[in-house]
Structure 1
Amino acid sequence: MKKMKKKLTLAGLTAAGLLLLSGCVQTHIVDGVRVPTEAATHGITYNLLVRPMSAFVDLFAHNLSMGYGWAIILVTLIIRFLILPLGLNQAYKSTYMQEKMAYLTPVFAPLQERVKNAQTPEERMAAQQALMAAQKDNGINMFASLGCLPMLIQWPFFIALYNAAAYTTGISSATFYGINLGHSSIVLTIISGALYFIQTWISTLSMTPEQKKTGMAMLIMSPAMIVIFSFMSPAGVALYWAVGGLVMVIQQIIISFIMKPRMRRKIDEEFTKNPPKINNEGLKDVTPSSVQENFKAITSERNDKEKQNKTGGRNAGKQNRK
């Protein structure tokens, strides 16, 4: 039930974000084409975000004679790469905490089992307090990785790009390699979905088995939502999502194959110098014996690997995660 709730919440948040993008500018149908209403063109969102971004698209489409297809691609790339450092910074913080949590799984697993198997409210409260204390003692603070500033900075650009791609005058009648940008396109819908699938698939390659349980849900939901909304939107919007998906793939490659290995080496060094701390004082042990045995086995295995590492063996942390 909890897993299902998480999946539904994730899908809801994704849908809400996409709906927010599409609902920022009020529109109506004119001659079979969806365009902003007269009131919307005088609104704050349209004038502060959409109109300047539309002018930016027009700059490439008309002044540089590139056409609207290439204009959408270039503007999307420029904006995406400008805000890429913010995205990487936020991804670094959240991924670092996730990797640290994964490393400390043998420490937290018994406490989590005690919370789960507590027989009285007092036992549950004590176990929860011990878990939070253990997380604090070992430098775990998931809220520190949930900073809103990077997203708040990026969101206006996404809103502007989405609406500019959807409602810039001229895009509805433009074509891009035979694709009518004013109507939905199966080709661009498939490309968009495939790129977001690749991005989420790459993200699962360096995950631990525990992390993959959540990652696999994203592997399906994220591309599925993009496919649905791309198919429901003009091809100009699907083109914007396809280019954005390409940048997301590049960002995920950096995170999975450059950031994560460095993080794991850093975490290994950190806990080699300062071993994990845990305080079970005052707790009634309601952990199943199988979990206790598993904890001891994992701890023993980690100690053996640390000894091998000191004598020139392979990196202990990497072996542990493999």
Structure 2
Amino acid sequence: MKNKKLFAVLSTLLVTTLFLSGCVQRTASGKPYGWVYDNMAVPTQHVLVWLSQIFGNSLGWAIIVITFIVRMILMPVMIKQSKNATIQQEKIAHIRPLMEDITKRQKEASSEEERMAISQEMMQLYRDNNISMTGGIGCLPLLIQMPIFAALYAAIQYSPELSRSYFYGINLGQRSFILVVLSFLVYALQGWLSTLGVPEAQRAQMQQMMIISPLMITFMTYISPAGLGLYFFVGGIFACLQTLIINYMRPRIREEVIAEMKKNPPKKTTSTTKTVIETSSKIDHTPKKSTIKKRNAGKQRSKHK
């Protein structure tokens, strides 16, 4: 469930990025215009130029400072969501035997009605034990970053000054394979750090997420100017720091969940599968006697005619 949600969020971000990148139009002379350019790109260009003047006319450092400010603002929200996701993971570890029993019965189900009833049992098991179906993961930080991402993209893509700027030999207006590789490595590191201290069974389930996230970020860095690649790379460093903070908090979170589970032991759901099947089997699909009589009467009349 969490992996599907992550994939959906990252796919949405990618599609939105591609859409916004095409929102800026050009005149016959090549001058950009449009709502995205006028209201997002131009103000961002002014902010970047102002910051670059403070840091020795370096637009690269200006992008890093903007990334730092955005990530520091989002850090409390992102840590809170990561903490919630960790709590959900620890709760799931306690009800795993019950989940495995339901999953086994679902695989052995012989009819669609039985499979649907067992799926309802799984959802009820989550609800009874106060576990979120999405694992506590939210997309608010990504949604907040999307306007910033679109503004930076348009500012770098359509500003002659920014597109010709260099940062340690990297042209910020062109694709940088160095930043593509660095972005992949930093997000792969973040994925590996997220598995530390996690039980083996849960670690196996997180492997898909560990692969999808770095690949998506790498692809987005590949199709974007290096200025955005720098934004992704620095953001990945913050993601690693955030994961280390959660790993430091994990033992205390685990103790709190264990204490909660001792007070409120995992609740086993009442199986509704048998009831659903019995109800379905009791439905009388044979036509009623009155209906049969009417049909026979109709046939007799047709014969006399």
Short-chain TM bin:
0.7 to 0.9
| Pair 1:103-2:94 in alignment | yes
Larger Rg: 2
Structure 2 segments unaligned to the other structure (5+ residues): 275-305
Alpha-carbon separation, structure 2, partners of 1:208 and 1:282: 31
Q: Measured at CA, do residues 249 and 226 of structure 1 come closer, stay the same or move farther in structure 2, by a change above 3 Å?
A: same
The Cα offsets for residues 76-123 of structure 1, whole Å up to 9 and x where unpaired, read as: 111111122222222222332232112210122212222222223443
Q: What pairs with 1:1-322 in structure 2 (closer than 5 Å)?
A: 14-26=10-22, 37-38=26-27, 42-143=33-134, 145=136, 147=138, 149-255=140-246, 257-280=247-270, 284=274
Q: Secondary structure at the match of 2:206?
A: helix
1:35-66: per-residue Cα shift (whole Å, max 9, x none)? x6359954333334333322221111135534
**Aligned Cα root-mean-square deviation (Å):** 3.1
Query: Structure 1 residues 10, 281: CA separation in 2 closer, same or farther (over 3 Å shift)?
Result: closer
Deviation at 1:16, TM superposition (A): 4.2
**How far does the alpha carbon of each residue in 1:128-153 deviate from its partner, in whole angstroms, 9 at most, with x for none?**
33333322221123258355555433
Contact 1:174/1:182 (<8 A) preserved: yes
Determine the C-alpha separation between the residues in 1 that align with 2:140 and 2:7: 23
Aligned 8 A contact 2:153 2:225 in 1: no
Query: Are the counterparts in 2 of residues 107 and 278 from structure 1 also a CA contact under 8 Å?
Result: yes
Which deviates the most, 44-53 or 176-185?
A: 44-53
TM-score (norm 1): 0.72
Q: Give 1:199 deviation, angstroms.
A: 0.8
C-alpha distance after superposition, 1:237-292 (max 9, x if no partner)? 2111111111111112122x1333222111100011121111445655xxxxxxxx
Which residue identity lines up with residue 23 of structure 1 in the other structure? F
How many residue pairs get aligned? The number is 272
Q: 1:132 to 1:236 in 2, by over 3 A?
A: closer
2:286 paired residue number: none
In structure 2, relative to structure 1, the CA distance for the partners of 1:201 and 1:162 (3 Å cut) is: farther
Amino acid at match of 2:192: W
Decide whether the 8 Å contact of 1:179 with 1:235 is kept in 2.
Answer: yes
Question: Does the aligned pair in 2 maintain the 1:201–1:219 contact within 8 Å?
Answer: yes
**Aligned 8 A contact 1:26 1:40 in 2:** no
Alignment partners' CA distance in 1, 2:124 and 2:226: 51
Percent of aligned positions that are identical: 36
